[in-house]
Structure 1
């Protein structure tokens, strides 16, 4: 894959994907997911139109079934079964997209890579822009995927759990990068999930996921590095990413990986877990 020198090695362009639609071993995944306030439904939109050959990854259903949190990472066997039912194999070249671009696709990019699909990429730009540019769109009832075998092997070092997060907050052994918007981070705006405290973890830095992209495309690498550093991150030190429920935290993960930062993990429970408890420290105001 010939990646331009200032582009992330983990994204692909519209032109790249358009020329490969239908090729053997190229799989396309719609990972669109929305907050209630956005008044959009990923599954409904997928059923109406999609990039030709795409399958829909339901981020509310391919999760740990016994968790009371919204997006807890699934067990290996459960993820393998779900990915296989979508026709995905860990050896495929997989391109993940969402509606606006650089919103929820990075979460599924992270999940697939974390379970062993090393040739997974994010479509730069998103499906909204793809349609606006008149690129190929498939409508009508989506085809049922041909089942495949996905050999899932979870990289546990990529995931931070609650007990680890408590230790990180207490010891400051890793930087914390929070992808939520400034209002939720500072506690000025309420959380969208009822009954949850607002604010952030002690020591966290606010890196709103939206500042890492422009028009649905991940920023060029130089800009990306400057944006991360401007948020207060030292790119020579460990980082754990977090957000509301573990979805947009992956946008920061994608940005970090893109600029060559490898010592990073994603806090899977994120604020749904931390802010939903009454025994965790919460800070309001600026970091």
Structure 2
């Protein structure tokens, strides 16, 4: 079991012990790939951890962008959090249906907005349920709470910045997609995207950072996965994936072993793969 850290990762045992703390807020950030045809909100309505609020990754986003679930404007994030009763002074625990898959994205969003007392629930809702812990189908009692936002611009990169990093090699670009997708051996799940990866990037599939029960590996084991993939950890990192979700699992893993100079490429392959003028590479890194 991973060591509990209220700023990165906490166990189901830790959450059960703190569930009634007055300043604890639990967030259900479940999200599924479109091909899975699952309704995360309907599943939340049917059962969730007591007191949990539902965080809609696709709605609490910049809907002006054609790209999916891009970082929301600061004002929108603040208003949605206030409506959810989440604000200054709260310890936040984010969980997803299983493991860190989508929960890490919301963990990173809170950190991007300057809120650091936020952790992912190790193993997610699946582990919580498997242990027979309490669940409910009741909506939470919400009281408005102001949230101060100090956006950390260095934690997110756009396509121009990533293209420069690819050319200059001054960042390690790390791709969280599966090996076959990274190499360009299979078609992308989103129609119209080219296959391959950003030139100069390394491949650390996010599921290699997890144990069989979807809990996260120890910090030393996490670091070893990055090193085995040829990542130069002395350089600042940019993480990427299909649409900016599992890239955040890599960010959480790096934070766990003490590396904090990372940023997320928010558009990820959904953006890069759609631009015919951007270079792509195939095969191994």
Please give the range of the TM-score, normalised by the shorter of the 2 chains.
over 0.9
Match of 1:44 in 2: 42
Match of 1:63 in 2: 61
Aligned match for 2:231, one of 222, 230, 233: 233
Aligned pairs for 1:16-31 within 5 A: 16-31=14-29
1:190-226 deviations in whole A, cap 9, x for unaligned?
Answer: 1111111111000111111100011111101111111
Is 1:74 the counterpart of 2:72 in the alignment? yes
Match of 1:146 in 2: 143
What is the TM-score when the length of structure 1 is the normalising length?
0.95
Residue 9 of structure 1 deviates from its aligned partner by 5.8
| 4+ residue runs over 3 A deviation | 3-9
Q: Is contact 1:175-1:238 (8 Å) kept? A: yes
Long gaps (5+) in structure 2: none
Is 1:283 the counterpart of 2:278 in the alignment? no
Alpha carbons of structure 1 residues 8 and 20: separation in structure 2 relative to 1, 3 Å:
closer
Residue 146 of structure 1 deviates from its aligned partner by 2.4
Residue 75 of structure 1 deviates from its aligned partner by 1.2
Q: Is contact 1:7-1:220 (8 Å) kept? A: no
Match of 1:195 in 2: 192
In structure 2, the residue corresponding to 1:50 is in which secondary structure?
A: coil
Residue 91 of structure 1 deviates from its aligned partner by 2.4
Q: Is contact 1:106-1:250 (8 Å) kept? A: yes
Match of 1:101 in 2: 99
More deviation, 128-137/4-13: 4-13
Give, in whole Å, the separation in 1 of the partners of 2:219 and 2:5. Answer: 6
Residue 8 of structure 1 deviates from its aligned partner by 9.2
Alpha carbons of structure 1 residues 90 and 276: separation in structure 2 relative to 1, 3 Å:
farther
1:47-77 deviations in whole A, cap 9, x for unaligned?
Answer: 1000000000000001112111002101111
Give, in whole Å, the separation in 2 of the partners of 1:80 and 1:22. Answer: 24
Q: Is contact 1:185-1:206 (8 Å) kept? A: yes
Q: Is contact 2:176-2:205 (8 Å) kept? A: yes
- RMSD of aligned C-alpha atoms? 1.7
Residue 171 of structure 1 deviates from its aligned partner by 0.7
Alpha carbons of structure 1 residues 8 and 260: separation in structure 2 relative to 1, 3 Å:
farther
Q: Is contact 1:92-1:117 (8 Å) kept? A: no
Residue 148 of structure 1 deviates from its aligned partner by 2.0
Long gaps (5+) in structure 1: none
Residue 39 of structure 1 deviates from its aligned partner by 3.5
Match of 1:243 in 2: 241
Give, in whole Å, the separation in 2 of the partners of 1:13 and 1:195. Answer: 40
Q: Is contact 2:85-2:145 (8 Å) kept? A: yes
Alpha carbons of structure 1 residues 55 and 150: separation in structure 2 relative to 1, 3 Å:
same
